[in-house]
Every structure is written in C-alpha cells, then in structure tokens.
Amino acid sequence: MNRTVYSIDGKELRKMELDETVFGLPANEDVIWYAVNNELANLRLGTACTKDRGEVHGSNAKPYKQKGTGRARRGDKKSPIMVGGGVVFGPKPRDFSYAMPKKAKRLAMKSILSLKVQDDRLKLVEDFSIASGKTQDLIKVLRNLGADERTVVVLKDDDALVKRAGRNIPWLTFLSYNRLRAHDLYYGRRVIMLETAAKNLSDFYAVKAEAAE
C-alpha cells in the first residue's frame, strides 16, 4: 500500500509503502467499540457515594406514635421514604477498570488505523519538530497540512517541544506511536502521522505479534 509523504509546507515529497497488516485490515467495529469503552471505563473515578439508612445521621426514635393519629405507620426519620433519609441501592465507591486482552487491543488499534486510511483521513508527514516550542509556529505547519479541526498527531517519540507548542490548541491531541489511545484516534477527524512513526508502528506490531505466538 503506497501513501504520499508530505512536507511541512504541504507539498508532496515521495511515496511510502505501508504495512498491509497494520494499515490495510478490514475495520473490526466490535473490537473498536470494546477498546474505546475499555479506555473510558478505566478513566472513571468511581467516587460517587450515597448514604443508606444506617449511615444517615439522625434519631432512631419514631416521629410520632404508632396508633391513633390516622396516619401511616412510620419508623425512624432515616427511612428512605422520608425527606433527608437514606438512599436505597445508591452508588458506592467502586473500581470500574478492567483489563482488555492484548491481542484484542492490538487488533483495535490496527482496525482504527486501517479505517483512517480507507476514509482518507490519515496523512503522512516528514519528521519535524518545533525548535522554538511556540504555538504560532506549530499552527503554521498545521494550516499547511489542512488541519483545522479535531486532529491527532502521532509522534515518533516523546517530543516535549512539539507538545509544548500544541498544548494551547484545544482541538489537537498528541500520541506516541507506542502509546496509542483508541478513543482519541477513533474520534479524531484527521490523523497526521510522522514518517518515522509509521515505520515504527509496523515494526512495533510485528514484534508484538511474533512475541504473542
């Protein structure tokens, strides 16, 4: 599979061969959904907490006597049917995270990458860095590449200067090739991938596949 590599000025430079086993798979929507929901579940804090009738502060005495009032029988003021009483089956602190099989997670990432290629939303760009670390310099590069909406930039390494330049851009997300996130990658309208990152992705998933066998 051949894809065009662009310069930071938006001009075509050369063709690059992409690995079919990473960028040319049929999109598996089920495993993509699984991966996205797994990440969202792992991000949940799980700190919501309510008090049941045994935890509510208050008297254990009956609000009024059992008989002779013509009203319904009442227990204590902490009853769930009383205002200010306990909550029945309310949320308690819990851990929502769970582990996803490694093979399924790798398949999800490859499916998303393949989907972006099929939809022509993935653009390969020559390796670049923002030496000044300034946002305005990065914006010039993004404009030349036609990125003006929710965009994901896949880096070849943890480039601190590029990330510093882009932290003021709300619609821009940076991902390292070996730390992809399914949610950001899937919902990104455009994916800009550095040339070396594309090569590393092919090697990264190939090594992982061999180790799993």
Percent share of the chain, pLDDT over 70: 96
pLDDT over 80 at 129, yes or no? yes
**Which amino acid is it at 159?**
D
pLDDT, position 212: 46
| pTM of the predicted structure, to 2 decimals | 0.81
Q: Which residues contact 42 (CB under 8 A, 6 or more apart)?
A: 96, 97, 98
Average pLDDT over residues 144-164: 89
pLDDT confidence bin for 158, thresholds 50/70/90: confident
pLDDT at 150 over 70: yes
What is the overall mean pLDDT for the chain?
90
pLDDT of residue 148: 82
Which DSSP symbol is given to 154?
E
Q: Which runs of E-coded beta strand occur in the chain?
A: 2-6, 12-17, 122-125, 151-155, 172-176, 190-194
Question: Could you tell me if 160 and 189 are in contact, meaning their C-beta atoms sit under 8 angstroms apart?
Answer: no
Please give the Cα distance from 181 to 175 (Å, whole number).
7
* pLDDT computed for residue 45 by the predictor: 94
Smallest Cα–Cα separation from 158: which of 111, 210, 197?
197
Task: For the chain, list the domains and their CATH numbers.
Answer: 2-29+101-212 (3.40.1370.10)
Tens digits of residue pLDDT in 53-99? 999 998 888 888 999 999 998 888 899 988 889 999 999 999 999 99
CB 181: neighbour CB atoms within 10 A? Answer: 16
The single-letter code of the amino acid at 95 is: D
pLDDT recorded at residue 183:
95
State the Cα–Cα distance between residues 134 and 92, nearest whole angstrom. Answer: 45
User: Which residues, including other chains, have CB under 8 Å from residue 46's CB and lie 6 or more apart?
Assistant: 93, 94, 95, 96
Look at residue 210 in the predicted model and tell me its pLDDT: 44
CA distance 34 to 104: 9
Give me the pLDDT at residue 209, please.
Answer: 46
